[in-house]
Chain A
Amino acid sequence: MAMTLSAIRSSPSRLPLYVAVQALVALACVFVLRLDLPRPPPAYRAAVAEVNEGGVWRPVAFPIDRKARSEDPPPVDYRIPFTLPGNAPEETWSVLIPRFSTGVQLFINGTLIEDTLRDPATSRPDRNVPVISLIPPALLVPGPNVLTVKLFVWGPVTGYVDSVYLGPDSRLRPSFDRRIALFETFPLLLISLQATLSLVFALIWVSRRQDAIYGLLAAAMGIGVVQNFIAMPAALPLHGFIAASVSIEGALMVMFTMRLVGLRSRPALWLVLAPGMLLLLMGLSGSRALLQRGYLLLGPTSVTLSVLAVSALLGWSAVRRRDQSSFLLGSVFTAVIVASLHDLLTVMDLVPGERLFVGRLSYSLVLVTIGIGLTWRFVHALNEADGFASKLVRQVREAEEKLRQSFVREEERARSEAMTAERTRLMRDLHDGLGGQLVSIVALAEQGQDRGAIGEAARAALKDLRLVIDAMEDIDGDLMLVLGSWRERISAQLRAHAISLRWEVLSPGGLPAISGLRPGHVIQIIRLLDEAVTNAIKHSGGRTISVSLDSLDDAEGRACGRITVSDDGCGLGEDDGGPVRRPGRGLANMKKRAELCGASLSLISDAAGTSVVLTLPAVLPDAP
């Protein structure tokens, strides 16, 4: 077939090719059917026989072909005389009838030695099974003996005996064995395969109802298997079933092929099943004559139509659709057509030679071919599904990767935004403190100011630098961690001014943590405290500055911190003779800083000193 398939690919028009291939197939079939079947040596063939007609023995020639004269004809006796060789045979003799229909009983000298009616495998007219039987030596007498063949006929075919061989068993047995292999073992193998595939497709169909193609094929195969095992002669309904089965199988094949070549099935298509159903009913009606007439009318016609329809569909698909499997199947079907034609001609006695029925056999072959093809198709579909699944997995992975990348981009963007915001804040903080102080140093130096002022401005700049750096650290709302460093800075500053620092932590653990405290807040708070301390150093005239840290509950019962910076100086009063104080601008500045971090500021001043009280919030809003 490989050669044919490669030819198909390169051919522009398919019809001539298809027809040519079918013709070749048909020729090949005819050639095969004309091959001689195994036979024993001609020497053992019985030459003459006599038929008993109404008590009178008249000679007949082989092959015997007897038409049934009535609906249920009685068996006919044939007598074949034979003589054993003079020297008594060492070997056991056998009788071999290579081909007969429909049933035979063999008698040697009037004693029954074989009855094919008891063997269901040989009881069907469409089987080509031979019969062989050992002749019990005790039955044989020296000299002339008589073999009697009682021929039973039923069904639509005529009685037939191809030839009779009598001889040593060892000479007859090999050809019998070969025929058995060909007409019994091989068909049994096919029918087993058919049964298996039928079951497999039925299972597939049960779990995949949308794939009717498997159901149809399972039904066709199943019916074929069942009818194969019905023994003959049988009850009339079973005859009906056998008659109907071919017709129904043909109809199912039409429906199957429609789907196989991808045509839409219509409800009217179920009508192709009608002839088969009618035959079934006829079988159930109880009238053998009706069934026989019905079968002759409907059976061959419907089967022929079905086969032609299938063949046409496959041919159309192979030519028009360029479907290779249709091409292959169509060729196999051509073989079935040839085989069926052969059978038809055989029934009509138009075929010379041995009477053989090969239609059923070739059909079984087709079913198995289709079964294998469909199994392959199913596996192919599974592979495609797998491929689809892995493609999906790959696509999902790609989508995930894209998502991850966009997430990374988003993260980078957020980080860069955060960095920009941080830079802006840092710039503002540096601008507020360090920048201004450095500019001030430049100005002081250019103006030739005294070193004290320059030093002081530079110290302030350094202090602010440290503050900005400190404030950047993550302190998780614990202002105490910043105040620790601040304490070090102001204690050095106060030491330089010979002012002592009293640091009091009034509540255990110091200030409560402030939720939402950010570097911007920290800077405002520390600058505010710095200003309070600087004011006290510069203006109060006091000797001690106290910083006390305390915790109290706010209106909502949350713990919040309070920082008090107080001095023991002269207070703010203008009329107490102390140094002139102008707290206005400084105070406003401090209030603004307090507001920026949600704190409240109050100032208490009397002759005993000044206290700046900063009450911190428990929670701060997000952005400073």
Chain B
Amino acid sequence: MGPLEETAEEISVLLVEDDAPTRRRIADALVQAGGFRVAEAGDLGQARGLLQSAKPHVLLTDLQLPDGNGLELIREVRQRSEATEIMVISILGDEQSVISAILLGANGYLLKDAFPPDIAHTVRELIRGHSPISASIARFIVRRTQAGTGAKPASDLNTAKLTPREIDILWGIAKGFSYADIASQLGISRQTVPGYIKNIYRKLDVNTRGEAVFEALQQGLIRL
């Protein structure tokens, strides 16, 4: 995969992960794939320090950090720049962490135990505008679109803006259909499916709601 990717310049990555072996593993996966320049941080403080002097293409961050929550970092970076691609690093890829991150402006997620080639591939795909999405995340979002209005208490996950087509795509992903299957069933081009997904993430992004979300963050609750 690596050699096939033609990149004009190196992709700069800020990797925030408190567990050193894990951090090194991910950094190695990127560096060995080639085309990445990786800065590492072990906590929020270091990450903020590095962000003052540089503006990376990609932010990879864990959520549970020794001096705070990675969600704060995601919010800060997204507020500063729309261009930065943000991925959350998660062990399970569970809805709570991934969707909270998406709500604050993340574009994707990375499993901590992903195979090294997959790590580099996922980041590159993100740079190309292809957000990854898992079956369980898709399932969580479409489930929320089905929940009747008023059935759930106020939620920060607002699915009202999703179009029927986007919801169909999410259903396909949730059930394990390939992008090609989904595309042929919906009569769209296979190449457009990843774009749809990025669009879905953007629609869920509540970054603009600023303070209310920050409040929720402070209390450790994003209501899903």
Contact = CB atoms under 8 A, between A and B. Distances in A.
Contacts of A478: 175
Interface of A: 459, 462, 465-466, 469-470, 473, 478, 480-481, 483-488, 492, 495-496, 503, 505, 510
A503 B118 contact: no
Contacts of B139: 473, 481, 484
B114 interface: yes
Interface stretch (B77-85, B160-168, B176-184): B176-184
B117 A495 contact: yes
A264 to B, nearest CB: 68
A510 B174 CA distance: 12
Interface string B57-84: 0000000000000000000000000000
A225 to B, nearest CB: 71
18 contacts: A466-B92, A469-B92, A470-B136, A473-B139, A480-B176, A481-B174, A484-B174, A485-B134, A485-B135, A485-B176, A486-B176, A488-B134, A488-B176, A495-B117, A503-B176, A503-B178, A510-B176, A510-B177
B175 A484 contact: yes
A481 B117 contact: no
A483 B172 CA distance: 12
Interface in B128-161: 134-136, 138-139
Contacts of B117: 495
Interface-central residue, A487, A488, A503, by most chain B CB under 10 Å: A488
Contact of B113 (A459, A484, A488, A510): A459
Nearest to B93: A466
Given A466-B92, A485-B134, 17 more contacts: A459-B113, A462-B113, A470-B136, A481-B139, A484-B135, A484-B138, A484-B174, A484-B175, A485-B135, A485-B176, A487-B176, A488-B134, A488-B135, A496-B115, A505-B177, A510-B176, A510-B177
Contacts of B177: 484, 505, 510
B175 A483 contact: yes
B88 interface: no
Contacts of B135: 481, 484-485, 487-488
Nearest to A466: B92
Contacts of A465: 92
Contacts of A484: 135-136, 138-139, 173-177
A485 B135 CA distance: 5
Contacts of A503: 176, 178
B19 interface: no
A439 B91 CA distance: 20
B10 interface: no
Given A481-B139, A503-B178, A495 B118 contact: yes
B28 interface: no
B57 to A, nearest CB: 24
Contacts of A466: 92
A529 to B, nearest CB: 12
Interface of B: 91-92, 94, 113-115, 117-118, 134-136, 138-139, 173-178, 181
Contact of A495 (B91, B92, B115, B138): B115
Contacts of B176: 480, 483-488, 503, 510
B75 to A, nearest CB: 27
Contacts of A492: 114-115, 118
B175 to A, nearest CB: 4
A503 B94 CA distance: 24
Contacts of A480: 174-176
A466 B117 CA distance: 21
A18 B134 CA distance: 100
B201 to A, nearest CB: 18
Contacts of A496: 115
Interface-central residue, B94, B135, B176, by most chain A CB under 10 Å: B176
Nearest to A485: B135
Nearest to B134: A488
A481 B140 CA distance: 11
A306 B62 CA distance: 107
Closest 7 CB pairs of A and B: A484-B135, A484-B176, A480-B175, A487-B176, A485-B135, A496-B115, A483-B176
Nearest to B112: A462
A478 B173 CA distance: 14
A469 B138 CA distance: 16
Contacts of B178: 503
Contacts of B138: 484
A486 B135 CA distance: 9
Nearest to B114: A492
A492 B91 CA distance: 15
A350 to B, nearest CB: 97
Contacts of B115: 492, 495-496
Contacts of B94: 469
Contacts of B174: 480-481, 484
Interface-central residue, A478, A485, A486, A503, by most chain B CB under 10 Å: A485
B203 to A, nearest CB: 21
A96 to B, nearest CB: 93
Contacts of A469: 92, 94
A465 B92 CA distance: 9
Nearest to B176: A484
A487 B176 CA distance: 6
Nearest to B115: A496
A470 B174 CA distance: 12
A470 B95 CA distance: 11
A313 B81 CA distance: 106
A487 B178 CA distance: 10
A396 B8 CA distance: 82
Contacts of B114: 492
Interface-central residue, B91, B175, B178, by most chain A CB under 10 Å: B175
A486 B175 CA distance: 10
Nearest to A465: B92
B153 to A, nearest CB: 19
Nearest to A496: B115
A459 B177 CA distance: 25
A496 B139 CA distance: 26
Nearest to B117: A495
A31 to B, nearest CB: 85
B19 to A, nearest CB: 14
Nearest to B133: A488
Contacts of A510: 175-177
A467 to B, nearest CB: 11
Nearest to B139: A481
A483 B177 CA distance: 10
A483 B176 CA distance: 6
Contact of A481 (B91, B92, B118, B175): B175
A496 B119 CA distance: 12
